[in-house]
Copies of this chain bind each other. A is one copy, B any other.
Amino acid sequence: METLPLEPWTGESATEVIRASLQAGRDVVSANKGPVAHALDDLRSLAVRHGVSYRFESAVADGLPVFNLIEHTLPAAGITEISGLFNSTSNVVLDALAEGVSLSDAIAQAVSEGIAETDPSFDLDGLDAAVKLSALCAAVWGRRLPLENVEVEPVDESVRARAVAARESGGRLVSMGTISLVDGAPANARVRLADIKPENMFYPLRGASLGLCIKSELLCPVSVMSHRPTVKDTAYGLLSDILSMARGSYPTRGTRLAYDAG
């Protein structure tokens, strides 16, 4: 089980630790999105070669079934777009800014609620969500998405007026990530501030809540959301990976997701 801190630009040292474990013939369960974003193909090949499993349900959106959802419940759907609220700190801070609170007070409030880390710059500058988009891209489409190809719009003091205006017009300014597949390649990868109205499916997601919407060729848009998860829910994602291994999840023929050799 691997839960090292994330180094967003390289995915190290987690990737090295996972690589060594797989080479030693050990199954790996990881909550880390870095290795998925940067080295999924390598790690998957290693797992196959050594007859072990590498699973990472908690890598995006804590215990919310994301990778398992796509792998097990959306066969052959032809996924074309994934969008969602991937970073709760950004959205908690934006909601506070919309109430007229200063950025530093908004951050302090998010920290005191246990949602933001003491230094939330990695969340607020959009990089956390960008790594998640990259991990989804690798896992869902088997394509590398370099972080520098993700357009990011940070949450800072300058967006307060937009947050207030959105609230006053009955909406809500949120940080939303989007990625599509166009002609077989990742496209339109961005983390942007969007003014959403109550009719938008993401509108009710407050506090630490996260959610994503999957568009596909065969099925209508499907969304999946977790409501106010905590660190316990990240732990559930790890548990669910261990249980999937224990009950011998089937090999994902025809899909590009978490691979169990067994």
Contact = CB atoms under 8 A, between A and B. Distances in A.
Interface of A: 63-65, 68-69, 72-77, 198-201, 203-206, 213, 218-230, 232-233, 236, 239-240, 243-244, 247-250, 253-254
Contacts of A203: 198, 203-204
A205 B200 CA distance: 9
Given A206-B199, A220-B229, A254-B247, A72 B75 contact: no
State how many copies of this chain the complex holds: 2
Contact of A227 (B64, B201, B239, B247): B201
B247 A247 contact: no
A202 to B, nearest CB: 8
B204 A218 contact: no
A200 B201 CA distance: 10
A247 B75 contact: yes
A97 to B, nearest CB: 19
A224 B226 contact: no
A75 B236 CA distance: 10
B72 A68 contact: yes
A177 B76 CA distance: 31
B220 A233 contact: yes
A240 B204 contact: no
A124 to B, nearest CB: 23
29 contacts: A63-B220, A65-B222, A69-B73, A72-B72, A75-B240, A75-B243, A75-B244, A76-B243, A77-B236, A198-B198, A198-B204, A199-B204, A200-B204, A201-B204, A203-B204, A204-B204, A218-B239, A219-B229, A219-B236, A220-B228, A220-B229, A222-B224, A222-B226, A223-B225, A223-B227, A224-B225, A247-B253, A247-B254, A248-B250
A227 B222 contact: yes
A73 B77 contact: no
Contacts of A248: 250
Q: Which of A224, A228, A249, A254 has the most chain B CB atoms inside 10 A of its CB?
A: A224
Contacts of A64: 222
Contacts of A219: 63, 226, 229, 233, 236
A224 B198 CA distance: 18
